[in-house]
């Protein structure tokens, strides 16, 4: 059961925050539409003669005798009118910016070239530029200097059979003790 943890989200913090902003804007849109539709259904009245809302109304949208229909039709009208509040193109713009940053800046950065393996930087995902600035762990030794965290295989024993030809610290210590005696 040790491996039964929740799988971490692979979405960036920018995408999570953008989703919250869009959800908030959608809530604001629905609130505005409900307030407007309720106001439209309540205040439509025949006394506003200059709007020509009398019995000869061509459209049922402003008929004071049918307020529930006025409410429903006003909701759809207001959703259509207020829909630019939600910027759908924001997702597209952010993805294009991340794509350009990864292809033009990261892939062409000469300081990100690894000379030991003759490997240039290659961004395989557009989220790489967001992940580069997030340092979670720094490995250091007792003196505080940074280490490369390079691990080498020396030796292991599985079922009593030894694999590997390296000399472990225990074997070095035993050899030093035998030399002293």
What residues are annotated to the active site? 141
Structure tokens at 40: 């439209």
d(CA 8, CA 89): 28
**What value, to the nearest 5°, has the Cα angle with vertex 143 and ends 142 and 147?**
80
Are 155 and 163 in contact by the 8 Å Cβ rule? The answer is: yes
Structure tokens at 5: 């943890």
Burial degree of 124 (CB within 10 A; 0-12, 13-18, 19+): exposed
């Amino acid at each position: 059961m040790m491996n039964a943890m929740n799988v971490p989200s692979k979405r960036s913090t920018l995408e999570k925050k953008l989703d919250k902003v869009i959800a908030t804007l959608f809530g604001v849109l629905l609130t505005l539409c409900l307030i407007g539709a309720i106001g439209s259904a309540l205040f439509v009245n025949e006394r506003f003669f200059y709007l020509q809302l009398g019995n000869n109304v061509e459209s049922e949208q402003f008929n004071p005798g049918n307020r529930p229909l006025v409410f429903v039709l006003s909701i759809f009208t207001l959703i259509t009118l207020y829909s630019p509040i939600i910027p759908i193109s924001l997702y597209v713009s952010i993805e294009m910016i991340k794509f350009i940053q990864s292809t033009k800046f990261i892939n062409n950065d000469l300081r990100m070239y690894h000379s030991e393996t003759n490997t240039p930087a290659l961004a395989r995902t557009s989220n790489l530029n967001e992940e580069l600035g997030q340092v979670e762990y720094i490995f250091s030794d007792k003196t505080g200097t940074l280490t490369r965290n390079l691990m080498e295989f020396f030796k292991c024993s599985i079922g009593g059979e030894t694999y590997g030809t390296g000399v472990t610290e225990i074997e070095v210590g035993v050899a030093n003790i035998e030399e002293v005696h």
